[in-house]
């Protein structure tokens, strides 16, 4: 693996545009329709995984017609790094999960360790169901066994990706498109 670029500007120069805003918007609209059909009018708790899922979850919520309550969870394995470590809980949801349909929204399903831990925690809090919605998924064979997105918007290459919620060294989450470093 090559050294990471020194700045966000350098990262953009060394990256390929993978999905532009129009493609992302269409994918989120399609996800919203699929989730509305799955919920069939039931209320769900949209549990946004901070910080990465904020742009995605906000747009998803606006596209959905199902009744939603909002809350957030902040757990990370990365802490600004490119490789995950032990799960660190920074904030648990304030909303009780018992008996609720939980829509767990995250920016990306890569290996899935964080999502698996969050799903298991929600089920341990007696959520009636946990539906995982991810904006992106990397198609590879390294995912936690048995973990999958119930609804996923886009595939991204098995490279370092950033933009639209995903960060490059804690920057670039507000980029309106998704990029992948060419050599990382």
Q: What is the largest CA-CA distance in the chain?
A: 49
Which residue out of 106, 107, 110, 167 is catalytically annotated?
110
DSSP track, the chain: -PPPPSSHHHHHHTEEEEE-HHHHHHHHHHHHHHHHHHHTT--EEEEEETTTTHHHHHHHHHH--S-EEEEEEEEES-TTSSS--S-EEEE--SS--TT-EEEEEEEEESS-HHHHHHHHHHHHTT-SEEEEEEEEE--SS-SPTT---SEEEEE--SS-EEBTTB-BTTB-TT-SSEEEES--
Per the CB < 8 A criterion, the answer to whether 14 and 183 are in contact is yes
> Is 71 one of the annotated active-site residues of the chain?
no
Catalytic positions: 110
């Amino acid at each position: 693996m090559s050294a990471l670029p020194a700045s966000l500007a350098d990262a953009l120069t060394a990256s390929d545009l993978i999905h532009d805003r129009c493609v992302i918007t269409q994918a989120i609209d399609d996800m919203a329709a699929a989730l509305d059909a799955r919920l069939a009018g039931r209320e769900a708790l949209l549990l946004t995984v901070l910080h990465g899922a904020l742009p995605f979850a906000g747009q998803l919520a606006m596209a959905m017609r199902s009744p939603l309550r909002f809350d957030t969870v902040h757990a990370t394995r990365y802490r600004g790094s490119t490789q995950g470590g032990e799960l660190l809980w920074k904030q648990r949801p304030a909303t009780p999960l018992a008996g609720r349909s939980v829509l767990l929204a995250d920016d990306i399903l890569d290996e899935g360790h964080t999502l698996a831990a969050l799903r298991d925690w929600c089920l341990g809090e007696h959520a009636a169901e946990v539906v995982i919605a991810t904006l992106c998924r990397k198609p590879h064979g390294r995912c936690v066994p048995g973990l999958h997105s119930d609804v996923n918007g886009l595939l991204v290459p098995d490279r370092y990706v950033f933009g639209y919620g995903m960060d490059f060294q804690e920057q670039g989450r507000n980029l309106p498109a998704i990029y992948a470093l060419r050599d990382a």
